[in-house]
Amino acid sequence: MLALVKALHLLALVFGSAASLGNIYLALAAGPHDLPAPGFTNALRKLYRFTALFAILVLWATGLVLMFGEYGWWVPSRAFDIKIAFAILLTAIIFWLNLRATTWARTGGPPPYVKYLHWTGTFSLLMVVTLAVFAFN
C-alpha cells in the first residue's frame, strides 16, 4: 500500500516539474524576438499554475502519509529538515501565484518579480529532490 503512495508521490513530482520547468522555458522564450501570442502563452501559464497547485497538494498528502507510515512523527535527518524547508518555500510560491493570478490578469499582467519567483520555485524543487535522495539513501 505504501508503495502505491510512494508512486503517487513521485508521479506528482513528475507533474510538478513539468509545470515548474514550463514556466522557466516561457521566461527564457520571452523577449524582443518572441512571437506575439499572448492568448496562447496565458493559457499555458494557467495550465502550469493549476498543475503546480495540484502536484504540491498531492506531494504534501502523500509525503505526510509516507512519513507517518514509515518513520513516525518526523524523519530524523538533517537532509529531510532542509528538504521540508524548501518544500514549504515552494508551496508558498505556488499558493501566492495562484492567489494573485486573476488580479494580475485584470490589472495588466504579472509584476516583474514573478519571474524571480519562478526561478526560486524551480531551484527549490531541484533542492527538494536532491535532499530527498540524501535523506532516504
CB of 24 to ligand HEM, least distance (A): 16
Q: Which is nearer to ligand HEM, 41 or 82 (CB)?
A: 82
Sign of CA dihedral 50, 115, 91, 95: negative
Nearer to ligand HEM, 74 or 104 (CB): 74
CB of 47 vs ligand HEM, minimal distance in Å: 19
Q: Minimum distance from CB of 4 to ligand HEM (Å)?
A: 11
- Rounded CA-CA distance 44/47 in Å is 5
Question: Amino acid identity of 134?
Answer: F
The grid coordinates listed for 80 are: 529531510
Tell me the site size for ligand HEM, rule CB under 6 A: 21
* Residue 100 Cβ vs ligand HEM, minimum distance, rounded to whole Å: 20
- Per-residue contact flags (x/-) with ligand HEM for residues 77 to 116, judged by CB under 6 A: -------x--x--x--------------------------
- Taking the CA atoms of 121, 124, 125 and 126 in sequence, report the sign of the dihedral they define: positive
Buried b (16+ CB within 10 A) or exposed e, 5-38: bbebbeebbebbbebbebbeebeeeeeeeeeeee
- CA triple 6-11-14, angle to 5 deg: 135
Establish if 19 lies at the interface with ligand HEM (CB under 6 A): no
* Residue ranges binding ligand HEM (CB under 6 A): 6, 9, 13, 59-60, 63-64, 66-67, 70, 75, 84, 87, 90, 125, 128-129, 132-133, 136-137
